[in-house]
Structure 1
Amino acid sequence: MKTKNLLRAAVATVLSVLPLMTMAAPTHAVEAAPSMVVELPLGVAVGELPVAVEDRTGYNRDSFKHWNTGLNATDGCNTRAEVLIAEAVSAPTVGARCSLTGGSWWSYYDDTTVTSAGALDIDHMVPLAEAWDSGASEWTAARREAYANDQGAAASLVAVTARSNRQKSDQDPADWLPPSADALCQYASEWTATKLRWNLAIDEDEQHRLYFIAAGCTDTTVTYEPAP
């Protein structure tokens, strides 16, 4: 009961001090389309998310085709491997059939350096089951595949230790947060950005937890571009 009261107090505090929503000014070039990138304070961004009751009826992980051939269909690497290559702190050697040797990665969920690609999972920032609950059940198969392999935003897919990814499973921030305290603001920002990018809803408990985090992350912004 005490925790719920604290959450409600934090929500009330955030709502009372939220600044006006700001949008990154588009840059213009001759005959160039305006930028669609949006940047908002974390608390404001949370307020932009629709609130709805989650419904997992009919969910099947196979409804989200992954991993596909990634951004380059001719390099022999699937999406998982391409994310590992892109996020490496020190680059691995890419061998035949996109086998990866060497390299190192930093798993920000648990502040851990990893030196074996096999010890990493590629986490969907918003898990597939959570996406289904939040609106993806209404999508076409092609859009679900695009979501499951989204390399258009750095926050969508993240290389983390297999241990932390499996602890997270399909839980939202109301039920699981990264064990590293330093990861909290980044995680809330990237979760919110991913839901905004794909126009996914949040439930009430999730909203309360995100507002609670935002109250302690006043300098954190959310940057996203709506998915095509």
Structure 2
Amino acid sequence: MPLAAVTALLVTACQPGAFGTQPTPPSNAAPAGVELSQLVVQARSGMGGYSREKFPHWATVSGECDTRETVLKRDGKNVQTDSQCRPTSGTWFSPYDGATWTKASDVDIDHTVPLGQAWESGAAKWTTDHRKEFANDLTRPQLRAVTDNVNQAKGDKAPDEWKPPLKSDWCAYATDWITVKHYYQLTVTAAEKSALTDMLNYC
């Protein structure tokens, strides 16, 4: 075989997609890792002065629907509501534990980054309006419909203190946490950063 033909064959073989292989898609851990590296690492300021009332939440979104009801409709399937936007039927899947519920009363709307956690990582210095935006944020991955008692077990804990029971949700949970903290320029502790880095390995 002429040298030129051999060279062309080798070049073709080394190209992505050669012989039926496909290029490896970029992991969604990559951008999250970059954002995580940009967060300020410092100790939490503590919960002094904190109360949930300082984060006005479940604001009116449209008509009779508030933020909680909007998330229930968004995250559920076949959700039916009454004239006051309260769910009367539907199905909700909780990514934290894999449970499925048919009563809205069994579901909490979790703040990915809890209000107390936000308070001690920067939000104590915010205006009330900014804290209201944070507590009702439907644009960032800050609100999730999840099993109520799992959400209660989480409380205000950071990822070094609590993780979703299902490891299959660790990637999504870590990337969502990082996205929210990065957008709002909240700080992380060294232990929290380490836990998030470990969870990104599940992406």
TM-score range, shorter chain: 0.7 to 0.9
User: 1:212 offset after TM fit, Å?
Assistant: 2.0
User: 1:208 offset after TM fit, Å?
Assistant: 1.3
Asked whether the 8 Å contact 2:55–2:131 carries over to 1, the reply is yes
Question: Where does structure 2 lack aligned partners over 5 or more consecutive residues?
Answer: 1-28
Q: Given residue 152 of structure 1, which amino acid in structure 2 is its aligned partner?
A: T
User: 1:65 offset after TM fit, Å?
Assistant: 0.5
Residues 1:205 and 2:195 are matched in the alignment? no
1:82-133 Cα offsets, whole Å, 9 max, x none, are 1100111x22111121121111111000011111111100000000000001
Asked whether the 8 Å contact 2:81–2:89 carries over to 1, the reply is no
In the other structure, the counterpart of 2:41 is: 51
In the other structure, the counterpart of 1:21 is: none
In the other structure, the counterpart of 1:76 is: 64
In the other structure, the counterpart of 1:145 is: 132
Q: Given residue 176 of structure 2, which amino acid in structure 1 is its aligned partner?
A: E
In the other structure, the counterpart of 1:123 is: 110
Structure 1 runs of 4+ off > 2 angstroms? Answer: 39-45
Of 49-58 and 39-48, the range deviating more from structure 2 = 39-48
Q: Given residue 194 of structure 1, which amino acid in structure 2 is its aligned partner?
A: V
Asked whether the 8 Å contact 2:32–2:179 carries over to 1, the reply is no
| Structure with greater Cα Rg | 2
User: 1:59 offset after TM fit, Å?
Assistant: 1.1
In the other structure, the counterpart of 2:74 is: 86
In the other structure, the counterpart of 1:175 is: 161
Q: Which of 97, 110, 120 is the matching residue for 1:110? A: 97
Of 50-59 and 134-143, the range deviating more from structure 2 = 50-59
In the other structure, the counterpart of 2:18 is: none
User: 1:209 offset after TM fit, Å?
Assistant: 1.0
Of 90-99 and 136-145, the range deviating more from structure 2 = 90-99
User: 1:40 offset after TM fit, Å?
Assistant: 4.5
Identity %: 37
CA separation in 2, counterparts of 1:211 and 1:105?
A: 29
The aligned length equals: 174
In the other structure, the counterpart of 1:65 is: 56
